[in-house]
Homo-oligomer: A and B are copies of this chain.
Amino acid sequence: METPTTRPVTLDDVARAAGVSRATASRVLGGYGFASVDARERVGAAADRLGYVPNTTARALVRGSGTRLVVAVSGTEATVLDDPYVDRLVSAAARVCAPHGIGVALEWLPLDAPAGLRRLGDDRSVCGVLLVNTTAPVLDAVPAGLRGRVVSIGTGSPVVPSFDVDNAAGADAVLRHLHAGGRRRIAMVTGPRWLSCAERSVTAYQGLMRSAGLPVRLVTGDFTAARGGRAAAEVLDRWPDTDAIYAASDATALGVIAALRGRGLRVPHDVAVAGFDDIPYAAVSSPALTTATHPVARIATAAATAVLDGRPVPPVTAFPSTLVARESA
């Protein structure tokens, strides 16, 4: 219990106090190999009494296991690091890693400089990498030394397992809801077009519109509210009779609604608006936002767990997205 004020308690101290060798103490505390009941009890008691906390740094060194999980975020500019989506990912990963003595680092990995990946692979303190907002070429360039320790959130690839929400299903649910509400001239504000996970929603949108004989009205966005506002203006300028806008993110949808309101249009009376993500503020916006769920924390938790476990993972893990019908559509 009482730390000797200055020097930290080591395994040697515990072993000495328990009257066994360091090896035995390690076996007991590590829970592997053989150990007599007597030894187990004595070591456990000594560890408790001395307040022993294993030095995970030393353990990681000898095991060669690494102490950090790196969340590598790509994108066109470093400001993506400030995205609430990334915040949520990092935070959930940090929560999963904490009990294992592993910390999370957040780095920006420019898409045009995948060499950074090699450095991560050579860095023995890195036990795994979560690739976010990346592209297939980058995934294909993952060095061999990193295989099995890296997963992608969003973009898929044959070489790196990916975790993401089922974008197509979410888009499908939202668009069917819009259609069921009588909307026929439905525009979509997309995410960044280079992002394959964002593109899956676009494909779903296009497929559904075409099969229903409805016009395809696409405007490119970037998931942000500001861009959503500008995109809404563009939609109305190009297709003034639009009666619904499907935004690829809730932030975008909120921006769309604000822009619509600025033009004197009522939501959902004149134009219905639906988003994607079900962020906390979707429920309290005016009008409350109709959207589809995006279990970001669950995705990050699963991805981090997969890397930590190190077991083989199916190439694609898709999390269901369900409709949340509120007022805006």
Contacts and interface: CB of A to CB of B under 8 A. Distances in A.
Contacts of A48: none
A143 B5 CA distance: 10
Contacts of A104: 90, 94, 103-105
Interface in A95-128: 95, 97-98, 101-107, 118-119, 122-125
Interface size class of A (residues with CB under 8 A): 35 or more
A29 to B, nearest CB: 14
Given A56-B123, A225-B283, A91 B86 contact: yes
A60 interface: yes
B90 A53 contact: no
Interface stretch (A17-25, A162-170, A180-188, A250-258): A250-258
Contacts of A281: 225, 251, 254, 279, 281, 285
Interface of A: 3, 5, 8-9, 51-53, 55-58, 60-61, 66-71, 81-82, 84, 86-88, 90-91, 94-95, 97-98, 101-107, 118-119, 122-125, 143-145, 225, 228-229, 251, 254-255, 257-258, 261, 279-281, 283-288, 297
Contact of A106 (B91, B118, B229, B254): B91
Given A3-B145, A286-B258, A124 B82 contact: no
Given A123-B56, A124-B8, A286-B257, A225 B67 contact: no
Given A91-B106, A94-B105, A106-B94, A8 B53 contact: no
Contacts of A255: 284
B258 A284 contact: yes
Do most interface residues of chain A lie in helix, strand or loop, or is the interface mixed? helix
Contacts of A82: 297
Among A58, A69, A284, the most chain B Cβ lie within 10 Å of the Cβ of A284
Nearest to A50: B122
Contacts of A71: 94
Nearest to A260: B286
A233 B286 CA distance: 17
A281 B286 CA distance: 12
18 contacts: A3-B145, A53-B122, A53-B124, A55-B61, A55-B123, A57-B57, A69-B103, A71-B94, A82-B297, A90-B104, A91-B106, A94-B105, A98-B105, A98-B107, A101-B105, A102-B103, A254-B284, A286-B286
Contacts of A225: 280-281, 283-284
A124 B90 contact: no
A84 B87 contact: yes
Contacts of A9: 122
A51 B94 contact: no
Nearest to A261: B286
